[in-house]
Amino acid sequence: MVQSGQVDVIGRDVDGIPFPVCTMGPGHAFGIPALMAPSHVDLIARDDEVVVSAIAKDDFLRLTGKAGMEVFENARSVEHAVYLRSQGSHMGWKSDRGTGKTRYFASLTPEQKLQVLAATGLEDASQFQGTLKEGKVRFFANLPEEIKREALERWQSQTLRKASR
């Protein structure tokens, strides 16, 4: 949820072309966390300083109960909610260059990066230890687009299966 400042919400069409969705200010929520799936949007700070609060959905519901979820849903901008619903429940990865696979990979924790690299099935990917600045993102960025797509989908599928147990 945006606490202060403003952010521009930028969506991507089926070809990965960006377009403006809306601008959000204090009190607006920008989605239900889906950390194991590609983001449908980019948030770009419009002001010099933007303060954003994040809380895990389970923690949020534990603290606020059902009423809190209603507040959360009502805080989302109408434009953003419509855009997210139009995307369906899963936006699959494309094998095309420039569609966000490496950017998403770079946003993962070191442990998650190791899991994605293991999902490539490549022997060279096992050289990494999970430490900072060891070249995991550069390695991933230089993989063929199809291998990146398959690895991310395989990793997400494995992660979702573990989470549902």
| Full DSSP string of 65-85 | HHHHHHHHHHHB-HHHHHHHH
92 in a structural domain: no
pLDDT digits (tens, 9 = 90+) for 17-53: 788 888 888 877 766 555 555 666 777 888 788 888 7
Is residue 80 domain-shared with residue 9, that is, in the same domain?
Answer: yes
H or E element, residue 40: none
Is residue 109 domain-shared with residue 81, that is, in the same domain?
Answer: no
Single residue among 86, 109, 135 that ends a domain in this structure: 86
Amino acid at 90: H
**Number of domains present in the structure of the chain:** 2
Is residue 79 domain-shared with residue 109, that is, in the same domain?
Answer: no
| Integer-rounded Cα radius of gyration of the chain | 17
Is residue 143 domain-shared with residue 74, that is, in the same domain?
Answer: no
Lowest mean pLDDT of 36-45, 65-74, 82-91, 102-111, name the range.
82-91
What residues make up the domain containing 61?
Answer: 2-86
96 in a structural domain: no
Contact 102, 141 (CB under 8 A): yes
Is residue 121 domain-shared with residue 71, that is, in the same domain?
Answer: no
What is the rounded distance in angstroms from the CA atom of residue 115 to the CA atom of residue 124? 14
91 in a structural domain: no
